[in-house]
Amino acid sequence: MMTDTLKPRDGKDVESAVQGALAEGKSLEIAGHGSKRAIGRPAQTDLTLDLSALTGVTLYEPEELVLTARAGTPIAEIEALVASKGQQLAFEPMDYGALLGGWPGAGTVGGALAANLSGPRRIKAGAARDHFLGLTAVSGRGETFKSGGRVVKNVTGYDLCKLIAGSWGTLAAMTELTIKTLPGPETEATVAIVGLDDAAAAQAMIAAMGSSCDVSGAAHLPAAVAASLPLAHAAGGGRALTLLRLEGVAPSVAHRQAALVARVKPFGEVVTIAEASSVPLWQAVRDVLPFAASRAGAEAPLWRVSTAPTQGAALARMVTNATGASCLFDWAGGLIWISVPDARDDAAAPAVRRAVAACGGHATLIRAPAALRAAVEPFEPQDTVLAALTKRVKEGFDPKGVFNTGRMWAGV
């Protein structure tokens, strides 16, 4: 569907655009590069508010650990800039490009925060929301407001940054953001256990996370999934691979690698993967390359499930037994990507929802044909009290439903 697109040049333009939409009774789809557009309920909007012209880093002080950028600044540009100072975005934002059949490296900083992106390092460093220090945005009332600040420690007023992070553009159009930057690791290495089934892998990851080794990534690739990644295949000879990442200064990584190998040896055959292979391997895990659109099918249903790490294997088993789905585990078993065989007409939603209800957590249908995303609730259904509260929060920021309404849930 073609929609009319507004492309504001600055924050003032964004405010005018929203006021204009309000005056004309029109609804807006907020977009940066549109790289995550296919996530959520397919909502009908009158106009697209394209923020991709709001670009540029306006402040970067590495020693203060802060960076301010306009919302449409490419996240790749920010990552390159901070890397030039030996820093990184510690929340390790994943790139949805491969999963959604888009270009790698697309996406804006506004989109990264609106989707609350994270990566394998979430178990240690948190998600985008944990690094979101300040924002300027235009609410659905057509008013520019700010929250937070440009310092790393701040409790002045409600932390609206947290609320806007992960709200998928349903509350406000961000125009400028301040995020925390942190030193990047000097080096990294991966300790891998070969050939474990999902349950044994969960136990191994629990043992690793319960050690002093400061593991910054813990993922499990079942055999079929590992086989699809050349680097994983090389390390495990086509068998399942349980990956444990260590990052830091070289003497520390070496010391912890020895300690971690000793710790996980009882679980099975252990191999170590040096930095040169470790970096691209974790990038593949971060971006869920085994279930890339090019491999699984551009519209093959894919779920993202967040649960307690000890529940991951059981939850996955419930779904795979019922549907023949394939899983990739991250976050020490607490994040499960579930790829459902192509032909299903319900994206295996009943099986996934049942498993989540039994094991705890929540599930999001990340990829599916639009018709399926309209028929199956992509976001976890809420109980009545929580749903009503969510709706009241939405109405506070966007009473007329101008922004992305219906993307997360009907009416929100």
Residues 90-149 contacting other proteins, CB under 8 A: 116, 118, 122-123, 126-127, 129-130, 139, 141, 143-147, 149
Instruction: Report residue 133 as tokens.
Output: 């220090």
| HEC-encoded secondary structure of 100-126 | HCCCCCCCEHHHHHHCCCCCCCHHHHC
Q: Which of 39, 397, 404, 405 binds other proteins (CB under 8 A)?
A: 397
Q: What angle do CA 241, 126, 105 make, to 5 degrees?
A: 70
Q: Which of 62, 101, 237, 297 binds other proteins (CB under 8 A)?
A: 62
Which of the stretches 63-71, 263-271, 273-281, 342-350 binds other proteins when contact is defined by CB under 8 A? Answer: 63-71
C-alpha to C-alpha distance for 89 and 23, rounded to whole angstroms: 39
Query: Contact at 8 Å (CB) between 315 and 356?
Result: yes
| Beta carbon of residue 292, minimum distance to other proteins (angstroms, whole number) | 23
Q: Is 8 in the site for other proteins (CB under 8 A)?
A: yes
Residues of span 140-199 touching other proteins by CB under 8 A: 141, 143-147, 149-163, 165-167, 171, 182-184, 186
Provide the residue type at 227 as one letter.
Answer: A
Q: Is 77 in the site for other proteins (CB under 8 A)?
A: no
Residue 361's region, left for phi above 0, alpha for psi from -120 to 50, else beta, is left
C-alpha to C-alpha distance for 343 and 327, rounded to whole angstroms: 17
- Residue 137 or 221 with smaller CB distance to other proteins: 137
Phi, psi at 119, each rounded to 5°: -155, -165
Q: Is 7 in the site for other proteins (CB under 8 A)?
A: yes
Q: Which of 187, 272, 277, 310 binds other proteins (CB under 8 A)?
A: 310
Residues of span 213-252 touching other proteins by CB under 8 A: 214, 248-249, 251-252
- Residue 187 or 277 with smaller CB distance to other proteins: 187
The H or E element that residue 365 is part of is strand 362-367
Q: Which of 294, 399, 410, 411 binds other proteins (CB under 8 A)?
A: 399
Instruction: Report residue 102 as tokens.
Output: 């888009």
Q: Which of 11, 21, 94, 300 binds other proteins (CB under 8 A)?
A: 21
- Residue 6 or 193 with smaller CB distance to other proteins: 6
Instruction: Report residue 354 as tokens.
Output: 């049942």
Q: Is 64 in the site for other proteins (CB under 8 A)?
A: yes
x/- contact string, 260-289, with other proteins (CB under 8 A)? Answer: ------------------------------
Q: Is 33 in the site for other proteins (CB under 8 A)?
A: no
Instruction: Report residue 197 as tokens.
Output: 């089934």
* Residues forming beta bridges with residue 339, ordered by sequence position: 302, 326
| Beta carbon of residue 224, minimum distance to other proteins (angstroms, whole number) | 25
Query: Contact at 8 Å (CB) between 274 and 193?
Result: no
Q: Is 342 in the site for other proteins (CB under 8 A)?
A: no
- Residue 165 or 319 with smaller CB distance to other proteins: 165
Phi, psi at 330, each rounded to 5°: -125, -175
Collapse the DSSP code of 189 into the 3-class scheme (helix H, G, I; strand E, B; otherwise coil) and give the result.
strand
Q: Is 343 in the site for other proteins (CB under 8 A)?
A: no
Q: Which of 91, 282, 331, 403 binds other proteins (CB under 8 A)?
A: 331
C-alpha to C-alpha distance for 206 and 178, rounded to whole angstroms: 34
Q: Which of 1, 9, 276, 343 binds other proteins (CB under 8 A)?
A: 9
C-alpha to C-alpha distance for 193 and 209, rounded to whole angstroms: 14
| Beta carbon of residue 341, minimum distance to other proteins (angstroms, whole number) | 25
Whole-angstrom CA distances from 342 to 163, 243, 367, 397 are 35, 28, 11, 39
x/- contact string, 355-394, with other proteins (CB under 8 A)? Answer: -----xxx-x--------------xx-x--xx--xx-xx-
- Residue 236 or 406 with smaller CB distance to other proteins: 406
C-alpha to C-alpha distance for 174 and 11, rounded to whole angstroms: 9
